[in-house]
Amino acid sequence: MPPEEIAPGIYILHERDGARLATRSSDPVPVYGERIHNGYRLWDPYRSKLAALILKGKWQTLPLKSNSRVLYLGASTGTTVSHVADIVSEGLVYAVEFSARSMRDLVRLCERRKNIIPILADAAKPEEYAPLLEPVDLVYQDVAQKNQAQIASLNCARYLGQGGELCLMLKSRSVDTTAPPQAVLQSELKKLEGLELIKIMNLEPFHLDHWAVRARWNPGPSEEGH
């Protein structure tokens, strides 16, 4: 059976042992040990929270098009970044990572992928990389810091246009290891400024105590232009 495109740039491969999520790459070389099949890179939901979200959401995915611009906060070594770059093949991924060690692997990926721009910076200080960015369609955040909601709000206020979206992968244990995860979630949601919630989904069984939070940038009059 041929691959089934379930959203722009995202596919399901039907194999003997079941269906597998995949993206199609112009550079079909493994990034994190994933299997390649006829130019399609299998996308592991246990390694990528975005893959888990797509599967858990019955394939209702983010508003990504081939020419979308994405600000990716917490790029690490590029596991999910590489799949996002496959999807936005004619767009750009601004990949922000704080760890110099992870950045070395990310830079090697960027040498092969011309639509990924690596940025060594602290996502909590979005003003530091302002000279490198233009407005984006999506802010995707996956950082293990206490102030996750604040980081998301700061970056959305600076880089998202009206109607742009946030996808926040909220790690409750990184915020507070003692409070109940659901309580952490509700507390962090209240800190998202200028954002209108679209959907919240837990990522179990793929990722424990993680939620995907989708929100649309919709600032009030006092926030407009900040």
Residue 203 lies in a domain: yes
Q: Domain for residue 33, yes or no?
A: no
Check whether 60 has a pLDDT greater than 80: no
Q: What is the mean pLDDT of the chain?
A: 91
Task: Identify whether 119 is part of a domain.
Answer: yes
pTM across the whole model: 0.92
Q: What is the mean pLDDT of residues 162-186?
A: 87
Q: How far apart are CA 143 and CA 44, in angstroms?
A: 19
Answer yes or no: is 77 a known binding residue: no
- What does the alpha-carbon distance between residue 90 and residue 113 come to, in Å, rounded to a whole number? 11
Q: Record the tokens describing residue 215, joined without a space.
A: 């929100």
Q: Is 177 annotated as a binding residue?
A: no
What was the pLDDT predicted at 223?
Answer: 52
Examine residue 22 and state whether it is found in any structural domain, yes or no. Answer: no
Compute the average pLDDT of residues 198-215.
93
> What backbone torsions phi and psi does residue 44 show, to the nearest 5 degrees?
-85, 115
The CATH number of the domain holding residue 213 is 3.40.50.150
Question: What confidence score (pLDDT) does residue 220 get?
Answer: 67
Residue 79, annotated ligand binder? yes
* pLDDT bracket for residue 176 (50, 70, 90): confident
Q: What are the pLDDT digits (tens) for 7-50? A: 999 999 987 777 899 999 988 889 999 999 899 999 999 999 99
Q: Is residue 112 part of a domain?
A: yes
pLDDT of residue 225: 47
144 has binding-site annotation = yes
Was 84 annotated as part of a binding site? no
As beta bridge partners, residue 13 has 20
**7 falls within a domain:** no
When pLDDT is averaged across residues 156-162 and rounded to a whole number, the result is: 90
Predicted confidence band of residue 175 (pLDDT cuts 50, 70, 90): confident
Mean pLDDT of 100-128: 95
pLDDT mean over 73-96: 96
Of the candidates 72, 204, 52, the residue with the CA atom closest to the CA atom of residue 138: 72
Number of domains in the chain: 1
In this predicted structure, what is the pLDDT of residue 226?
A: 47
* 162 domain residue, yes or no: yes
Mean pLDDT, rounded, for 149-157:
94
Q: Which domain holds residue 163?
A: 45-217
> Could you give the CA distance from residue 202 to residue 196 in angstroms, rounded to a whole number?
18
152 belongs to an annotated ligand binding site? no
Write down the pLDDT at residue 63.
85
Residue 27 marked ligand-binding: no
Question: Would 186 be classed as within a structural domain?
Answer: yes
